[in-house]
Amino acid sequence: MDYIAQQVINAFQLGSIYALIALGYSLVYGVLSMINFAHGDLFMLGAFTCLLLEAIVPIPLWIVLPLTMITIGFLGALLERLAYRPIRNAPRVSAIITSLGCGLIIENITLAISPYPRHMPTLLQNSTIHFYGITISFLQILVVGVSLTLMLLLDFIIRFTSLGMAIRALSCDRVMVSLLGIPANRIISLTFALGGALGGAAGLLYALAYPVISSSMGILIGWKAFVAAVIGGIGSIRGALLGAYILGTTEVISVTILPSTYRDLIAYSLLLIILVFKPYGILGEPPLQKV
């Protein structure tokens, strides 16, 4: 009983982290219909930023979290400005290649600076809570709690603020939005910042939960979140959450049954199977094709 409950919580924790990253992929895809492969590496930088900040001054979590989010949000916007804006009207293939390239640049710069995996210092006293015979660590509650709070915050921004309205309008018709006098460029930058901030937060939470961080995290974990976003239907916010929890659950189940080396195999096979039957993900809609 305790074991199963523990696995459920593990799945929920992993799913929440995936969801935070997947939201970044979906936000950008919604606005620019481009896959930002470099987003996984922003997530990785989130973990490293936190490490760096802690190495300079040991500061408590509630300060380091917003700082990390701001830094990574800024980097996300910068990435858009430097690499993606010049090719915005180029064929879509250019966008995929550019983002793939940017991801590798970020990853390998990190690799060159920090070639070996690093340990994250403990920011929290890890106490556990006993609840009807189930043991939950405070850390897990924190990861899930912070993730859910951030997701609700994003939902609020998208639904009720003028920025959110502009983002929704942009995903419908980019040309029209600029004709209406909405500063499309600024909104796009802000979308990248928003996605980056969520990715940064996810990086921090991941580093707390699994305290060994390395430059390959972007591809190992970040791309998993991308898989989650595609499973749910990329571009759809609800799809990203759905996909993230499906993937989190699948991975936790597969790790309990099979050796952990099968994790990637299972995740990407799941993606392939879902794309065969639902070519645009569970909640995604096929793009309109005009004859």
Partner 1 sequence: MQQQANKEERLRSPGDAFNKRGLQSKYIVWLQNIGLLLLGGVASMLIPKFFNNYITFVLITLIINAILCVSLNLINGYMGEFSVGHAAFMALGAYSSAIITVKIAPTLPIFFLFPLAVTAGGFVAALVGVPLAILSFKTRGDYLAIITLSFLMIVKSGLENISYVGGPRGFLGIPQLTTLPWAYFWGVLTFWILRNFINSKWGRSITAIREDEIAAQAMGVSTRSAKMMTFVISSFFAGVAGGLFAQQIQFINPSSFDILKSTNILVMVYLGGVGSLSGSLVGAVVFTLLYQLLQPFGVWRLVIMPLLLVLLMIFRPRGIMGFREWTWLQPKESRTKGVDHSVL
Q: Is there binding between residue 105 and partner 1 (CB under 8 A)? A: yes
Q: Please choose, out of 80-88, 123-131, 172-180, 248-256, the segment that lies near partner 1 by the rule CB under 8 A.
A: 80-88
Among 67, 83, 163, 282, binds partner 1 (CB under 8 A): 83
Residues 23-52 that bind partner 1 (CB under 8 A): 33, 35
- Nearer CB in complex with partner 1: 168/263: 263
Q: Is there binding between residue 150 and partner 1 (CB under 8 A)? A: no
- Nearer CB in complex with partner 1: 68/250: 250
Q: Is there binding between residue 109 and partner 1 (CB under 8 A)? A: yes
Q: Shortest Cβ distance from residue 214 to partner 1 (Å)?
A: 14
Q: Is there binding between residue 78 and partner 1 (CB under 8 A)? A: no
- Nearer CB in complex with partner 1: 169/266: 266
- Nearer CB in complex with partner 1: 150/255: 255
Burial degree of 112 (CB within 10 A; 0-12, 13-18, 19+):
exposed
Q: Please choose, out of 17-25, 93-101, 121-129, 165-173, the segment that lies near partner 1 by the rule CB under 8 A.
A: 93-101
The 3-state secondary structure of the chain reads: CHHHHHHHHHHHHHHHHHHHHHHHHHHHHHHHCCCCCCHHHHHHHHHHHHHHHHHHCCCCHHHHHHHHHHHHHHHHHHHHHHHHHHHCCCCHHHHHHHHHHHHHHHHHHHHHHCCCCEECCCCCCCCEEEECCEEEEHHHHHHHHHHHHHHHHHHHHHHHCHHHHHHHHHHHCHHHHHHCCCCHHHHHHHHHHHHHHHHHHHHHHHHHHCCEECCCHHHHHHHHHHHHHHHHCCCCHHHHHHHHHHHHHHHHHHHHHCCHHHHHHHHHHHHHHHHHHCCCCCCCCCCCCCC
The contact pattern for partner 1, residues 204-243, with x = CB under 8 A and - = no contact, is ---------------x---x---x--x---x---------
Q: Is there binding between residue 282 and partner 1 (CB under 8 A)? A: no
Q: Token pair of 271, please?
A: 């993606």
Among 87, 136, 148, 282, binds partner 1 (CB under 8 A): 87
How many residues form the binding site for partner 1 (CB under 8 A)? 44
* Binding-site ranges for partner 1 (CB under 8 A): 33, 35, 83, 86-87, 90-94, 96-98, 100-105, 108-109, 111-112, 115, 219, 223, 227, 230, 234, 259, 261-265, 268-269, 271-272, 275-276, 279-280, 291
